[in-house]
Amino acid sequence: MNEQILLVDDEREIADLIEVYLKNDGFAVRKFYTGLEALASMEKEPPDLAVLDVMLPDLDGFRILQKIREHYFFPVIMLTARVEDMDKIMGLTLGADDYITKPFNPLEVTARVKTQLRRYKNYNRAGREETEKTEYDIRGLVINKASHKCFLYDEPVSLTPLEFSILWYLCERKGQVVSSEELYEAVWGDRYLENSNNTVMAHIGRLREKLKEPPRKPKFIKTVWGVGYKLED
């Protein structure tokens, strides 16, 4: 295994505990108690996945997440003691792939890490399959699975792996209505729960922003109220 995990949490007991569980599962862990140290390490060598606490003594986890998404696409899991939906939606909107609320079972963290890495690898591997369709061009929106790139009217669109996966899934079913439940279970690879719809909505909202979609009349990703989403052909 030996994937590199960047772990950032100023609560040393929690960070040390997560580190033990991740190492027991074969991961290499780079552990930091401040955001600035973590960013410096990441610039030298990007990890395969990051686990970020929201509340840190210098930079908060949201700011670190923004810095990551300026240059990198690896999965990011947020940790927080705050349970408000807006905090969760903010993290997902900024490009987080998952969100875990404290207190938690450390086994849950390792399970989520494995899920995110598996999903990330599977999509990259699928993108190299020559027998599958690798590109869609929908009225100036071009997405290529082999290169993992997206363009809107020839201008590059920077997407996180999760955002790319959502858009690709909708492209594969262009013209069809995809329910939030189907989208969540297909892309996230988890069972659809009560709050999963908020997660889907946050990512769809972020995708629309990046595609410069008018809020009231989106050109590409349409909302079919009470049903789901449809990418217009």
Provide the residue-wise pLDDT of the chain in tens; the chain has 233 residues.
589 999 999 999 999 999 999 999 999 999 999 999 999 998 888 999 999 998 888 888 888 998 888 888 889 999 887 666 666 677 777 788 888 888 888 988 998 898 888 877 776 555 444 446 788 888 888 999 888 899 998 889 999 888 999 999 999 988 889 999 999 988 888 888 878 888 898 999 999 999 988 877 888 899 988 889 999 77
Q: Cβ contacts of residue 31 below 8 Å, gap of 6+?
A: 7, 8, 15, 16, 19
Q: Which residue type is seen at 181?
A: E
Length of the chain: 233
Answer yes or no: pTM beyond 0.75.
Answer: no
Q: Cβ contacts of residue 75 below 8 Å, gap of 6+?
A: 49, 50, 97, 98, 116, 117, 119, 120, 161, 162
Report residue 17 CA to chain centroid gap: 24
Gap between the Cα atoms of 14 and 106, Å rounded: 9
Closest CA to 219 of 134, 140, 136: 140
Q: Cβ contacts of residue 148 below 8 Å, gap of 6+?
A: 73, 124, 127, 164
What pLDDT was estimated at residue 131?
44
